[in-house]
Amino acid sequence: MSLSYRQPGVVLTDHRFTVPLDHADPAGETIELYAREVVASDKAHQDLPWLLFLQGGPGHGANRFIGRQAWLDRALDEYRVLLLDQRGTGHSTPAGRQTLPLRGGPAEQARYLGHFRADSIVRDCEHIRPRLTGGAPWTVLGQSYGGFCTVTYLSLAPEGLNTAVITGGLPSLDAHAEDVYRAAYPRIERKVGAHYARYPQDVERARRVADHLLHHEVVLPNGYRFTVEAFQSLGLMLGSGDGSHRLHHLLEDAFVRTPAGTELSDAFQEAVQGLVSYAGHPLYALVHESIYGQDDRPTAWAAERVRAEFPQFDAAKALAGDAPVLFTGETVHPWMFDADPALRPLRETADLLAARADWQPLYDPARLAANEVPVAAAVYHDDMYVDTAFSLRTARAIRGLRTWVTDEFEHDGLRVGAPRVLDRLLALTRDEA
């Protein structure tokens, strides 16, 4: 039974759906999906078209808006919106250290998680669509990884789509994980350079923190082993519009004088543990590299292996000279499963996923080349998380796709530029812009 309730300006309805774990075996095991329907209060009883939102990630539940926040305000002008917690996230059947042991050992857990990629997410959407729309196709808005899923949707089930809108999420159709990270590290280095150009005082601050971590064992209050590599991973912040400023403010409060000498401050450690821990989204770390698996080659911890090709990211070498310590970005590494209490029990499971070599294709180039669904995509000019060159190549491979290439926003343009970003992309799909 669905439950409806209100927030300022909107009516919300909670939905729960039972879907097959493996859509190739519809009579087999099932899992639960949660989704929140949102409609403007003054349109609650109208027959409106549906817009499905696919969140970025992988491994993140859909936004929890209050009222008509951000891009949702624009969407509610004409749509009934479905905020889907993709399988394994949010209120859907969870997948983490507390629940995965229910599957059995690491081999069983890895086999289970093999069903948590974009192809399964798309089939989930097609499973629930008729129950909500009566069979009518819907508009899909895919942010970041949600855009990857949208391209999979265009490949597997375009008949379910009326319109597709993508923000910061046009994937390469054929790049291996190694190719993705080989393109990523130079982008990350540029973002770090831009941060240090804006805040030159942070060069010395970052070196000081890195030096401290190389010579001291630091365990954060939640049990996270805070190493220099973990400190460098804070560069993930630099992919958002305000991330450079937030990183600067974080570094300002790094140290405090104590009777025992200078130490990392409690305030700094408290803030850091919320940034580096995967307790709230463990699926991200578990399946992140598998979103690039499409052939008989294992991903094999690609980000870690490719990093070795870029020695400028070695903090110890930087500290031995006068080079700045470089932060890293949206990469997952084996050491995270040793450092993070939320991931430690899952290390062997993660290793098995990294070794898997039978991933099925996620995209159908022939079907995309014959696409008839109106599609528009925002491509951010130097997106830290998604390679612009790969995105533009994919844009050319999808028939009829219109791009909006902009350097006005970072990867979070949908959040900070809303409702203007969604409005422009919808206009592009309608030949109104």
- pLDDT higher than threshold 90 for residue 294: no
pLDDT at 325: 98
What is the pTM (predicted TM-score) of this model?
0.97
52 and 139 within one domain: yes
Query: Where residue 90 sits, what CATH number does that domain have?
Result: 3.40.50.1820
* CA trace torsion 263, 266, 272, 276 (10° rounding): 90
305 and 214 within one domain: yes
- Nearest CA to 239 out of 201, 275, 202 is that of 275
Residues 375-395, mean pLDDT to the nearest whole number: 97
Catalytic residue flag (residue 358): yes
250 and 196 within one domain: yes
Which domain-ending residue is among 355, 389, 419?
Answer: 355
- Nearest CA to 15 out of 29, 32, 31, 40 is that of 32
What would the two tokens of residue 2 be?
């669905």
CA distance 89 to 287: 12
* Segment holding 232, helix H or strand E: helix 228-232
The distance from CA 187 to its chain's CA centroid, rounded to whole angstroms, is 17
Looking at 126-207, which runs of residues are DSSP E strands? 138-143, 161-167
Q: Which of 25, 47, 358, 431 is catalytic?
A: 358
Dihedral sign computed on CA atoms, order 95, 96, 99, 102? positive
Place of tokens 């393109």: 183
376 and 279 within one domain: no
What would the two tokens of residue 53 be?
């939102």
- pLDDT higher than threshold 90 for residue 45: yes
- pLDDT higher than threshold 80 for residue 341: yes
β-sheet bridge partners, residue 406: 380
185 and 162 within one domain: no
CA distance 280 to 285: 11
Catalytic residue flag (residue 202): no
Task: Give pLDDT tens digits for 24-44.
Answer: 999 999 999 999 999 999 999
Cis peptide before 365 (omega within 30 of 0): no
pLDDT at 433: 85
Residues 12-27, mean pLDDT to the nearest whole number: 97
246 and 150 within one domain: no
Q: Fill in the amino acid letter for 132.
A: L
Backbone angles phi, psi at 127, to 5 degrees: -70, -40
Q: Fill in the amino acid letter for 312.
A: Q
Place of tokens 């970003």: 421
Which domain-ending residue is among 295, 330, 355?
Answer: 355
The count of domains in the chain is 2
Q: Which of 60, 288, 333, 411 is catalytic?
A: 411
Mean per-residue pLDDT of the chain = 97
Catalytic residue flag (residue 144): yes
- pLDDT higher than threshold 90 for residue 187: yes
CA distance 226 to 335: 11
136 and 115 within one domain: yes
Burial of residue 23 (CB within 10 Å: 0-12, 13-18, 19+) is: middle
- Nearest CA to 136 out of 174, 98, 163 is that of 163
- pLDDT higher than threshold 90 for residue 63: yes
Place of tokens 């949702």: 72
pLDDT band at 2 (very low <50, low <70, confident <90, very high): confident
418 and 394 within one domain: yes
Burial of residue 423 (CB within 10 Å: 0-12, 13-18, 19+) is: middle
376 and 334 within one domain: no
Note down the domain range covering 190: 177-355
159 and 14 within one domain: yes
Q: Which of 92, 120, 144, 290 is catalytic?
A: 144
- Nearest CA to 363 out of 148, 146, 126 is that of 148
Burial of residue 366 (CB within 10 Å: 0-12, 13-18, 19+) is: exposed
What would the two tokens of residue 366 be?
């022939």
pLDDT band at 1 (very low <50, low <70, confident <90, very high): low
Looking at 137-193, which runs of residues are DSSP E strands? 138-143, 161-167
Backbone angles phi, psi at 186, to 5 degrees: -65, -35
Which domain-ending residue is among 355, 385, 412?
Answer: 355
Neighbours of 7 (CB within 10 A): 14
Task: Give pLDDT tens digits for 78-109.
Answer: 999 999 999 999 999 999 999 999 999 999 99
167 and 184 within one domain: no
184 and 170 within one domain: no
pLDDT at 14: 97
